[in-house]
Structure 1
Amino acid sequence: MAPPAVVENLPPSLNSSAEQPPLFDGTTKLYTCYTCPFAQRAWITRNCKGLQDKIKLVPLNLQDRPAWYKEKVYPMNKVPALEHNGKIVGESLDLIKYVDSNFEGPSLFPDDPEKRKLGRELWSHVDEFMKIVYTSFKGEGPKECGSAFDHLESALGKFEDGPFFLGQFSGVDIAYIPFVERFQVYLSEVWKYDITAGRPKLAAWIEEMNKIDAYKQTKTDPIELVEYYKMRFTAQQ
């Protein structure tokens, strides 16, 4: 399913004092941030396709980001963004499909019509899933977000040829895992809520995802994650 593990020496993040790497020099670059869940989607996709040598990581410090990024690279000033074939492509969900379609490596979307149909439904639901859970952080936590995880539990039971959303690993798993990773840690630490309790398929999915090197290498330090979310959400209460 995934290429053999490639252990990378990750480059340091660039801050406002860093010089801009050459633009459109023939090198394919993924502008990213090691702690951003949206950028993590593109990073996982790159790794799953075995493109560590083909797509160079250019990590940014989003708290002190270089001015040249907005001015000369990506006017939206967000990550991820991919520099490829003389253009810049952005938006994390679009990039999963773009990298899958434009580069070598195992396909991240199945041919089976039923799986593609469910994949489209789950793809269109991911923003609503995130919204429900993030909103609950500002309110009563588990009381408000349980339905979001119930939805995932139900979706994970549709196909029996594997523990992933479409049976076998796909771009749908990549779309969800960066956020489930964060929600699981934060809800456990702050609300003492286990998102896998009573949801065996969700528990099995998370366990299987954590066996995938292409994903494991992108995970955020849980302590750092919890502190960031505490700062972001507790301050609003």
Structure 2
Amino acid sequence: MSGVKLLGINGSPASRRVEWALKIKGVEYEFIEEDLQNKSQLLLESNPVYKKIPVLLHNGKPIAESLVIIEYIDEVFEGPCILPKDPYDRAIARFWAKFLDEKLPAVWKALWSQGEEQEEDKKEAYEVLKVLDNELKDKKFFGGDGIGFVDIAANFVGFWIGIVEEATGVVLVTSENFPNFCAWRNKYLNCDQVKENMPSREMLLGYFKSRVQAVANGPK
């Protein structure tokens, strides 16, 4: 063991980002599953500011926030580069990863809200998806010909969003509205790297369907 531990949740997009980066670098690590309803003392001590996953522990030193962790992994461990080597390209990659982290909550909200609120949320989600669709014009992946930092950061819209759409019955992404994004997602989902670094689709679908059912059976 390389002195690396990851505090996370198996079905979390943020946790999976970090695991993917560790695997790219060939780093052995211990995964510690957290319960966010009963957070461990280790998590609370390791991330006292946000008190959330993921947290990487490297030789006992904690690093929080998935994108920050990925950059740390890229800089500290030997192996294939995750971020581009060119400073300008690295800056652009950081920009789009930050965009995803800031804007994807709008997409998540549109999948779960209802009624008039959902219609407003959908408009905001469509604007986010439109920006991503435009960025992917004439590109195979965000990183160019191969998967890179931004594609890893985009794992929620690449993998999770379709599962939540199926569970909730809310459709946000169509090839008519977002052709470049859908072309990227199809390539993404058929990439071996993605298949190796994502949780069970069936497990996630069951989880989200149970959430939908719980909402339906909740207080009227």
Considering the TM-score relative to the shorter chain, is it more than 0.5? yes
Q: Structure 1: which 4+ aligned runs deviate by more than 4 Å?
A: 231-237
Residue 41 in structure 1 maps to residue 41 in structure 2: no
Q: Which amino acid aligns with 1:223?
A: L
C-alpha change, 1:103 and 1:68, in structure 2 (3 Å) is closer
Displacement after TM superposition at 1:86 (Å): 3.3
Q: Work out the number of aligned pairs and report it.
A: 207
Separation in 2, partners of 1:94, 1:232: 34
Overall identity of the aligned pairs, in %: 25
Match in the other structure for 2:171: 193
Q: Which amino acid aligns with 2:153?
A: A
Q: 1:181 aligns with which of 153, 159, 182?
A: 159
RMSD: 3.0
Unpaired segments of 5 or more residues in structure 2? none
Separation in 2, partners of 1:236, 1:116: 48
Contact 1:43–1:218 (CA<8 Å) still a contact in 2? no
Match in the other structure for 1:146: 126
* Bigger Cα displacement from structure 2, 123-132 vs 34-43: 123-132
Residue 211 in structure 1 maps to residue 190 in structure 2: yes
Ranked by relative contact order (alpha carbons within 8 Å, sequence separation 6 or more), the top structure is 1
Equivalences for residues 30-109 of structure 1 within 5 A: 30-51=6-27, 54-71=28-45, 73-75=46-48, 76-109=50-83
C-alpha change, 1:50 and 1:63, in structure 2 (3 Å) is same
Q: Which amino acid aligns with 2:126?
A: G
C-alpha change, 1:36 and 1:194, in structure 2 (3 Å) is same
Q: Which amino acid aligns with 1:170?
A: G
Match in the other structure for 1:164: 141
SS in structure 1 opposite 2:6?
strand
Separation in 1, partners of 2:10, 2:188: 18
Match in the other structure for 1:15: none
Contact 2:2–2:29 (CA<8 Å) still a contact in 1? no
Separation in 1, partners of 2:21, 2:181: 21
Comparing both structures, which one devotes a greater share of its residues to helix? 2
Q: What TM-score, normalized to structure 1?
A: 0.73
Displacement after TM superposition at 1:103 (Å): 0.8
Unpaired segments of 5 or more residues in structure 1? 1-24
Q: What TM-score, normalized to structure 2?
A: 0.78
